[in-house]
Amino acid sequence: MKTLARKDQIRLKAQMLFRERGYSATSMRDLADELGIEAASLYNHISSKEEILQGICFGMAESFFAAVEPVTLSALDPKAKLQSALEAHLRVIAENSDASAVFLHEWRHLGEPFLSDFKLMRRRYEKLFVTLVEEGIARDSFKKMDARVVARTILSATNWTFESQKTSKSDGDATIQQIAELLVEGLIRR
Amino acid sequence: MKTLARKDQIRLKAQMLFRERGYSATSMRDLADELGIEAASLYNHISSKEEILQGICFGMAESFFAAVEPVTLSALDPKAKLQSALEAHLRVIAENSDASAVFLHEWRHLGEPFLSDFKLMRRRYEKLFVTLVEEGIARDSFKKMDARVVARTILSATNWTFESQKTSKSDGDATIQQIAELLVEGLIRR
DNA sequence: TTGGTTTGCTAACAAGCGTTAGTTAGTGTC
DNA sequence: GACACTAACTAACGCTTGTTAGCAAACCAA
C-alpha cells in the first residue's frame, strides 16, 4: 500500500518539524516543502493539520502503555519492577525521540475533545509509576516518601535527559540502563 | 514612572500566555485582549512581539545567574554547595514560574543573533552545575560518575517538577528543600 | 496656558495561514 | 480500451498575523 507509505512519510517529517519548531510555528507549507510537494497535496493523505498531531500524540501514548503496563503486572520485586518500567519508558523515548518530544510538549495544541482525552491518558500513565513506588514503600523495599513527588521527579528527569542529547543507538542501551539505575538506586533505596 | 508599569504589565500577561499557549500560538491580539486594549496600542510600549520574548528569556537568565553563581563561589563543602545551588535554582523557578516556563520552552523562537547568544548563556549556566559535581568527585565527596549526565539529570528533574504543579508560597520552601535534598542525597552520595 | 509626553484609538497594510475546489497525469484492473 | 484510484498540481477562499500611520484625549511640567 503506497497510501500508507506516503501518510507515514508525512507523519515522520511532521514529527521532526513539530519537535524543532513547535506545532504552531510549523506551517503546512513548511511541511509540504520538506516533502517536495505543494501544501494542498497534503490533503490527499490527511484531513487536517491537527489530525497529524493527534496521530502522533495518541500513537505515542499507546506505545508507552504497551511498553510499560506489562512490566507493572509482572511478578518482579518492587525495585526490579520499577527499574524495568523505567527502562521500558526510556526505550520508547530513545527509539522514537522526535515523536516523544512532540508527545511531551505539543499536546496542548490538541482541540477538544481530544485534549481532555489526552490529559486523562497522561494521568493514567503517571499513575502506573506512582503505584509502583507505593508498592515498594508498602512492601518496605523503598524508603518512606511522597510517592507522587518521587514518581514525578523520576519521570521528569527521564523526559528531559533525552531532550537535548542525540541518542545514537549504539550507546543508547547502555545509557538507558545507566540512567534508570541511577534514578532508582538514588531516589528509592532505603 | 507609568511607562515602566504598563510595560511590566504587558510582560506579565505575556509570560502567562506564552506559558499556557506557547509563543507562536499567542497573538498580539490575544495579549491585548488580556490587557483590555487594542493590539496596535501595545506598540506604544514595546517595539515587537519578539522583544517581549527576549526580555523574558534574558531577564530570567540573569536571575538564574544572580542566584546561583554566588553560591558556586562560596566556601561550602561540595555537597552543601551543590544543594544550595540547587535550592537557589529552584527558588528562582518557584518565585517566577510563568517566566521560567517560557525561559525553558520558548527560547527557540528567538531570532538570530539572540538565539545563538541564548544558547551560549544556557551552556555557561549548565556548566556551573557540571563543575560543582566535578569538584565533588575530585574531592572524593561524591561517588565517581559522569558529571555531565548527573548535572543534566538533576536540572531536568527540577525543571519539570514545577511544570505542572502550582507552587503555593506556603509549601514552596519546604518542597524546594525536600526536592534538592532528595536529588543530592540520592544521586550523588558515595 | 502652553507644550510635550503618555496612552489609547481606528483603519489599514502585506504576508502568511489552513483549507477547498477543480483538474490532470500516471497506474493498475476488469 | 474503459474505469476507477492515487497523488500530484494551480488557483483561490476567507481569515489571522504582526505591524504601521495618523489622530485624539488625558495628564503633567513650565
pLDDT for B20 equals 94
The Cα–Cα gap between A43 and A37 comes to 11
Per CB-CB distance under 8 Å, the chain B contacts of A190 are none
pLDDT for B153 equals 82
Residue B156 has pLDDT above 90, yes or no: no
Please state the rounded mean pLDDT for residues B15-25. Answer: 96
B62 interfaces chain A, CB cutoff of 8 Å? no
Cross-chain residue pair B161–A178, CB shorter than 8 Å: no
Find the farthest-apart pair of alpha carbons in chain B and give their distance in angstroms, rounded: 60
Mean pLDDT of chain A: 88
CB < 7 A from strand C, the residues are A 26-30, 39-40, 42-43, 47-50; B 2-3, 5-6, 32, 36-41, 44-45
pLDDT band at B2 (very low <50, low <70, confident <90, very high): very low
Packing angle of the helix pair B147-164, B114-138 (nearest 10 deg): 120
pLDDT for B85 equals 94
The Cα–Cα gap between B62 and B64 comes to 5
Please state the rounded mean pLDDT for residues B62-77. Answer: 95
The Cα–Cα gap between A119 and A126 comes to 11
- Asked if B155 and A161 touch (Cβ cutoff 8 Å), the reply is no
What Å value separates CA B8 and C1' D24? 25
Residue A142 has pLDDT above 90, yes or no: no
Overall pTM surpassing 0.85 (yes/no): yes
Cross-chain residue pair A21–B156, CB shorter than 8 Å: no
Residue B83 has pLDDT above 70, yes or no: yes
Contacts of B109 (CB under 8 A, 6+ apart): A22, A25, B23, B24, B50, B53
pLDDT for B158 equals 82
Residue B177 has pLDDT above 90, yes or no: no
pLDDT for B174 equals 66
pLDDT for A3 equals 43
Residue A171 has pLDDT above 80, yes or no: no
Please state the rounded mean pLDDT for residues A81-105. Answer: 93
Mean pLDDT of chain B: 88
**CA-wise closest residue to A134 among A118, A123, A148, A152:** A148
Q: What is the count of residue pairs from A and B with beta carbons less than 8 Å apart? A: 92
pLDDT band at A2 (very low <50, low <70, confident <90, very high): very low
Residue A75 has pLDDT above 60, yes or no: yes
Name residue, grid cell 511522597. Answer: A146
- Asked if A124 and A98 touch (Cβ cutoff 8 Å), the reply is no
Tell me which of B102, B107, B187, B189 to substitute to probe the interface with A (most A C-beta atoms closer than 10 Å). Answer: B187
Per CB-CB distance under 8 Å, the chain A contacts of B178 are 149
Please state the rounded mean pLDDT for residues A60-87. Answer: 94
Model pLDDT for residues B121-148, shown as the tens digit of each residue? 999 999 999 999 999 999 988 888 888 8
Residue B37 has pLDDT above 80, yes or no: yes
Q: How much is the CA Rg of chain B, to the nearest whole Å? A: 19
| Kind and range of the H or E run holding B38 | none
pLDDT for A1 equals 40
B153 interfaces chain A, CB cutoff of 8 Å? yes
Q: What's the helix, strand, coil split of chain A in %, to 5? A: 80, 0, 20
pLDDT for A106 equals 96
Name residue, grid cell 503505584. Answer: A131
User: Could you tell me which chain B residue has the CA closest to the CA of A27?
Assistant: B24
Task: Give the distance from residue A187's alpha carbon to the nearest chain B alpha carbon, in angstroms.
Answer: 5
pLDDT for A108 equals 96
